[in-house]
């Protein structure tokens, strides 16, 4: 929990040919859209219901104004910062996202390798389209995201594999008792193509997710999660794994406190990128309350709508330790495979360095002392 930099801070993103790639993370969306079938584009980018929360995430981030400090004598800030007590090249991790072979044949191993090259953690989804063992071999720090499967025995088997594969943290997603109603997928009758399977599940797939029916999202119909997850299950998990636990999908400060008391090393303030409860608040609007509630008891990370270095700065200034980045990483993977994803992460690091320089911060820890205004 110390703000001091650890001595073994990684070097940071590898040099990439910046001229070959878009000038901002958001601009990776263009080539990605051109490369993807429309229904896959919709699956990635859609939110639930009226997409009110999806839109609110971005709007709320844009309303956070950060007050720069001046005359601080900072020349070239460091971007490295610890997450879960381990030095990272920047306070960023690649968010868990299902079925990455939908967007590029190299899928999860390519994105995990790009994260490793950038010196940041990659979070592998339970619903990865590549087995966790292969992802862990391609990456460096691979965290595993757990969706609670209906049978506890299946969860236990998965945990054994996650431990054996060398994953370094476990992120439990708690905002998916069912999948949100994603109307784009419903209208498209979206189903997974045969070559994209849930490679970590027994039998290698969830059959229903492949059965296209007009007016039905097969991905939703094929969901295999236990809806009635409770704090008692988390206690069982705590006793079942030595890995640090992150609880993802927290919005209410009372739940954040409860998670910290249950032994979580971190909570992720997330509304799943606007894909679950439509009408949930934008994450930056609840972040300060969550940070105040948990204090030093655990780390607080944020996701949903982060699209650049200034957004990382905003989250830090509002008290987060770091952020997860979701869709832009899929756009970059779709646009250019591993090289595209490396370029996107290098760009994010460069943007963060610029944002720190412009606010007079020597490092991300200093950014957590900045003041913000909202609504103006």
* 273 binding ligand FMN? (CB under 6 A): yes
Distances from the Cα of 45 to the Cαs of 38, 41, 149, 203, 252, in angstroms? 10, 6, 25, 28, 25
Neighbours of 14 (CB within 10 A): 13
- Residues that contact ligand FMN, how many (by CB under 6 A): 22
Neighbours of 215 (CB within 10 A): 8
CB 149 within 8 A of CB 168: no
The DSSP-derived string for 101-114 is GGT-TTHHHHHHHH
Nearer to ligand FMN, 109 or 326 (CB): 326
3-class SS of residue 299: strand
* 173 binding ligand FMN? (CB under 6 A): yes
Q: Is 153 annotated as a binding residue?
A: no
What's the rounded Cα separation, in Å, for the pair 27 and 24?
A: 5
**Minimum CB distance to ligand FMN, residue 115 (Å):** 14
β-pair type (64-67, 371-374): antiparallel
Q: Is 106 annotated as a binding residue?
A: no
* 104 binding ligand FMN? (CB under 6 A): no
**Minimum CB distance to ligand FMN, residue 331 (Å):** 10
Stretch that binds ligand FMN, among 134-142, 211-219, 224-232, 320-328 (CB under 6 A): 320-328
* 321 binding ligand FMN? (CB under 6 A): no
Nearer to ligand FMN, 9 or 344 (CB): 344
* 303 binding ligand FMN? (CB under 6 A): yes
Q: Is 303 annotated as a binding residue?
A: yes
Give the residue from 321, 318, 319 showing the smallest Cα distance to 372.
Answer: 318
272 labelled catalytic: yes
* 196 binding ligand FMN? (CB under 6 A): no
End-to-end Cα separation, the chain, in angstroms: 32
Stretch that binds ligand FMN, among 2-10, 94-102, 106-114, 313-321 (CB under 6 A): 94-102
Residues 17-46 that bind ligand FMN (CB under 6 A): 44
CB 172 within 8 A of CB 245: yes
What's the rounded Cα separation, in Å, for the pair 328 and 307?
A: 7
Active site residues: 272
Query: Which residues define the annotated binding site for glyoxylate?
Result: 147, 182, 272, 275
Residues near ligand FMN (CB under 6 A) are 44, 95-98, 125, 127, 145, 173, 248, 270, 272-273, 275, 303-306, 324-327
Query: Which residues define the annotated binding site for FMN?
Result: 96-98, 125, 145, 173, 248, 270, 303-307, 326-327
């Amino acid at each position: 929990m110390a703000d001091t930099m650890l001595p073994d801070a990684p070097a940071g993103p590898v040099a990439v040919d910046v001229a070959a790639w878009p000038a901002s993370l958001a601009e990776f969306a263009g080539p990605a859209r051109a490369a993807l079938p429309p229904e896959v584009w919709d699956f990635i980018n859609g939110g639930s219901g009226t997409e009110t929360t999806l839109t609110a995430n971005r709007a709320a981030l844009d309303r956070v104004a950060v007050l720069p400090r001046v005359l601080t004598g900072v020349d070239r800030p460091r971007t490295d910062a610890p997450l879960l007590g381990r030095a990272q090249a920047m306070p960023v991790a690649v968010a868990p996202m299902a079925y990455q072979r939908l967007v590029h044949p190299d899928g999860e191993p390519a994105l995990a390798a790009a994260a490793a090259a950038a010196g940041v953690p990659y979070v592998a989804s339970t619903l990865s389209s590549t087995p966790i063992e292969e992802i862990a071999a391609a990456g460096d720090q691979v965290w595993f995201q757990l969706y609670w499967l209906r049978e506890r025995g299946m969860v236990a088997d998965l945990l054994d594999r996650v431990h054996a594969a060398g994953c370094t943290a476990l992120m439990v997603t708690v905002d998916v008792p069912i999948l949100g109603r994603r109307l784009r997928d419903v209208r498209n009758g979206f189903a997974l193509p045969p070559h994209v399977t849930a490679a970590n599940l027994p039998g290698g797939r969830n059959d229903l997710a492949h059965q296209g029916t007009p007016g039905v999202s097969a991905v939703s119909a094929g969901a295999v999660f236990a809806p009635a997850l409770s704090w008692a299950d988390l206690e069982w998990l705590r006793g079942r794994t030595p890995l640090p636990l992150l609880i993802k999908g927290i919005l209410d400060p009372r739940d954040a406190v409860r998670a910290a008391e249950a032994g979580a090393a971190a909570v992720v303030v997330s509304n799943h990128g606007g894909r679950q409860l439509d009408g949930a608040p934008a994450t930056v609007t609840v972040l300060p309350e969550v940070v105040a509630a948990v204090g030093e008891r655990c780390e607080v990370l944020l996701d949903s709508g982060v699209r650049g270095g200034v957004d990382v700065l905003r989250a830090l200034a509002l008290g987060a330790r770091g952020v997860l980045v979701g869709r832009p990483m899929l756009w970059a993977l779709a646009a250019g495979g591993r090289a595209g994803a490396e370029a996107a992460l290098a760009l994010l690091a460069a943007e963060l360095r610029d944002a720190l320089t412009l606010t007079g911060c020597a490092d991300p820890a200093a950014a957590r002392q900045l003041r913000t205004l909202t609504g103006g």
